A and B are shown apart, each in its own frame.
Chain A
Amino acid sequence: MMEVRALAKAFSGVKAIDEFSLQVHADEYLTLLGPSGSGKSTLLRLLAGLEKPDSGSIWLNGVDITTQPTHMRNLGFVQQKYALFPHLNVIDNVAFGLRHRELDPVTDPARVEKRVADILELVGLTDLGGRMVGQLSGGQKQRVSLARTLVTEPKVCLLDEPLGALDANLRERMTVELQKIRRALGVTFMHVTGNEAEAIAMGDRMIVLDRGRLLQVDPPDTIFTVPATIDVARYINAYNILSGTLSDGRFTSSNGAFPVVGDVPELGYYAVRYDAAHVLAPGEMVPDGSASMSARFIASEFMGSQIIYIFRRIDGGTFEVVRHLSREDPASYERDQQCTICWHAADALLFDVKGRLVMDNSMRGAA
């Protein structure tokens, strides 16, 4: 439906978006994960027409809209700071697009009223229509901002860190709400976020962006279990990443040498999912087909259903082990206690020197 071809944009010589291409489907929830400064806001602004690309093109339903001005594109852009009109009340804010748009404005007041009432009901703000913007809470402003964009029936709704300014509780509720609203309207959402949990939980498909380049587009579970590059593995915050080289058929680093499953020509990185490793009990032997390393215990974090043990590696980095408490009781270690951590060699993900995934072991299961 929407297609982005080799889009590029630089600000004073620094590339913000670099040869970005993407196919956006109809009726999907697309999340875009990127660390701050990765160009994710720039990408949205380019799509919305608020910035002009240096090269590349944007197509909407087969029409090139690259040079079309913002107000002719019919793409909704929900800004991070809501950008509600402070001189208007909730109803007039939401009705703004219908009344004042250049293309096909709704002139019949009764129809405007009906559509505004419908969308306010959908976002759960029916009673607040007469309020001024200054009298709303953060979550309510978020909903008004969303309603104001959705009422214009955009072809794609771009959301710039929509949950960024909300507190944790509200964030969780809005996560469910956003998906419900999207499904009710059948609009494609493109949701930009710096939070990997949000991107994984909400997206039908997920994009990982780094320094203006697209690293991977896949369903979140694929990205989580089979990250295409070491950077993707880093951003989803679920892998211990070790760097080293391949020698004698083993991955060798300052933390030790680990057996490698399969035949690979070279290695640069080695990733172990937090929940794929476990700590050996005293006297327990390293099972066959497993890799192990020794590390110093730093701290543990009890999360209710799971517990995170944090270790100091020999090379100074940290190594996290997540254990689900439905399967075992939490263990307690002394600070600075030397422990042996081990994992199935087949569970580790292998990456070459350039950071590309070279072997796919995910199907064997990590838990």
Chain B
Amino acid sequence: MSAVEPADSAGHAADRSGFMQKYGHFLLLAPGVIWMILFLVVPLLMMLYVSFWTQSTFSISPDLTVKSWVTFFSSETYFGALLRTLRIWLTVLVLTFVIGYPAALFIGQHVRNKTVQTILLVACVIPFWTSFLIRVLAWRPMLGKEGAINIVLQKFGLISQPIEVLLFTELSVIIGMVQIYVVFMVGPIAFMLARIDDSLIEAARDLGASSWRIFRKVIFPLSLPGVVVGAIFVSVMVLGEFATASALSGRKVNLLGNIIVTQVGSLKWAFAAVIGVVLTFVMAVVIIGLLRVVNLRREL
């Protein structure tokens, strides 16, 4: 009997440590999972649910209907806003890439000094030291009919009449957004480019490849994960944008984000929820699409 006892208690202890070993990692996971469920999954489901509620002028009731959905897809204004949002998103995405990639190439590849690299990257972030609204509104005296650009062009005699399309048009919204978001493209790309070992480029050169070939076959493919991460940053932010659009378009350019703001302002919860669901869906599709370009888990 006495010989069995210690073995028994030892077995018990082994059971306990076995339990911790088996399920311990769930304990580590729990806070994050609970947080995400409470503040992401549940609200998303709520939004989906509310989008089917019945909306009357002053009240909302939980009787399920597809009326708000039908309104969204049959109205030229609202469906047009979806198309406009997509168009502006694509334009801004392409422009941030076209402007951002060469800048990142300069910082990540041509500047070989790590300190200078860091200084240049920090310089990209300097505009963020002023508030978002000021940055956006600062474009008005720049682009306006009597703004800086028109004055300078007129002084040099390049134009006789001020260019009016500069402000309160889709163009001004795009200019403002590109300026604000281009840094989110530059950062990740510059990071990936700076990680490329010089010896790879030397090896490619030694194997007989010209600079352009080396860029196309070695440098660009290796920077692709940075492009995808940058594109995800820019996409998520631009698709949910409303402030730049309302400040620089004089409320003429309505994006999905602007419509949500107005609908919530007039207490149209069900309709706001419909647009919220649509926007979330669009973002999900865009992100999944971008992640398909590159296997980030392997590359980073």
A34 to B203: give the CA distance in the assembly, Å: 23
Whether A50 and B200, one on each chain, are in contact in the complex, defined by CB atoms closer than 8 angstroms, is no
A96 to B210: give the CA distance in the assembly, Å: 12
Whether B199 and A87, one on each chain, are in contact in the complex, defined by CB atoms closer than 8 angstroms, is no
Whether B208 and A79, one on each chain, are in contact in the complex, defined by CB atoms closer than 8 angstroms, is no
Whether A75 and B206, one on each chain, are in contact in the complex, defined by CB atoms closer than 8 angstroms, is yes
- Among B68-76, B101-109, B213-221, B270-278, the stretch that binds chain A is B213-221
Whether A96 and B204, one on each chain, are in contact in the complex, defined by CB atoms closer than 8 angstroms, is yes
A96 to B205: give the CA distance in the assembly, Å: 11
Q: Does A110 contact B (CB under 8 A)?
A: no
Please, how many residues of chain B have a CB less than 8 angstroms from a CB on the other chain?
Answer: 18
A97 to B217: give the CA distance in the assembly, Å: 11
Q: Does A48 contact B (CB under 8 A)?
A: yes
**Contact among A69, A79, A148 for B202, CB-based, below 8 A:** A79
With A74-B208, A96-B209, A100-B209 as given contacts, are A79 and B203 in contact (CB-CB < 8 Å)?
yes
Whether A148 and B207, one on each chain, are in contact in the complex, defined by CB atoms closer than 8 angstroms, is yes
With A83-B199, A86-B222, A87-B222 as given contacts, are A77 and B206 in contact (CB-CB < 8 Å)?
yes
Q: Which residue of A lies closest to B225 (CB)?
A: A87
Q: Which residue of A lies closest to B294 (CB)?
A: A87
Q: Does A102 contact B (CB under 8 A)?
A: yes
A70 to B206: give the CA distance in the assembly, Å: 6
A70 to B221: give the CA distance in the assembly, Å: 22
A residues less than 8 Å from B210 (CB atoms): 71, 102
Whether A76 and B206, one on each chain, are in contact in the complex, defined by CB atoms closer than 8 angstroms, is yes
A residues less than 8 Å from B221 (CB atoms): 87
Whether B206 and A48, one on each chain, are in contact in the complex, defined by CB atoms closer than 8 angstroms, is yes
A residues less than 8 Å from B299 (CB atoms): 87
**B226 to A: closest C-beta gap in Å:** 13
With A83-B197, A83-B199, A96-B217 as given contacts, are A101 and B222 in contact (CB-CB < 8 Å)?
no
Q: Which size class do A's interface residues fall under?
A: 20 to 34
Whether B208 and A101, one on each chain, are in contact in the complex, defined by CB atoms closer than 8 angstroms, is yes
Whether B206 and A100, one on each chain, are in contact in the complex, defined by CB atoms closer than 8 angstroms, is no
A255 to B49: give the CA distance in the assembly, Å: 98
Whether A71 and B209, one on each chain, are in contact in the complex, defined by CB atoms closer than 8 angstroms, is yes
**A61 to B: closest C-beta gap in Å:** 17
Whether B208 and A103, one on each chain, are in contact in the complex, defined by CB atoms closer than 8 angstroms, is yes
With A79-B199, A100-B213, A102-B213 as given contacts, are A85 and B205 in contact (CB-CB < 8 Å)?
no
B residues less than 8 Å from A86 (CB atoms): 200, 222
Q: Which residue of B lies closest to A99 (CB)?
A: B217
**Contact among A50, A83, A84, A100 for B208, CB-based, below 8 A:** A100
Whether A102 and B208, one on each chain, are in contact in the complex, defined by CB atoms closer than 8 angstroms, is yes
Q: Which of A74, A86, A149 has the most CB of B within 10 A?
A: A86
With A85-B218, A87-B221, A87-B222 as given contacts, are A96 and B199 in contact (CB-CB < 8 Å)?
no
Q: Which residue of B lies closest to A102 (CB)?
A: B210
Q: Does A31 contact B (CB under 8 A)?
A: no
B residues less than 8 Å from A83 (CB atoms): 197, 199-200, 202-203
A residues less than 8 Å from B199 (CB atoms): 79, 81, 83
A72 to B210: give the CA distance in the assembly, Å: 9
Q: Does A229 contact B (CB under 8 A)?
A: no
A48 to B201: give the CA distance in the assembly, Å: 13
A71 to B209: give the CA distance in the assembly, Å: 6
19 contacts between A and B (CB under 8 A): A48-B206, A70-B205, A70-B206, A77-B203, A79-B202, A83-B197, A83-B199, A84-B203, A87-B221, A87-B222, A96-B204, A100-B207, A101-B207, A101-B208, A102-B209, A103-B208, A105-B208, A148-B207, A149-B207
The 10 nearest A-B residue pairs measured at CB: A101-B208, A97-B207, A83-B199, A83-B203, A77-B206, A100-B209, A70-B205, A102-B210, A100-B213, A87-B221
Residues of A within 8 A of B (CB): 48, 50, 69-72, 74-77, 79, 81, 83-87, 96-97, 100-103, 105, 148-149, 152
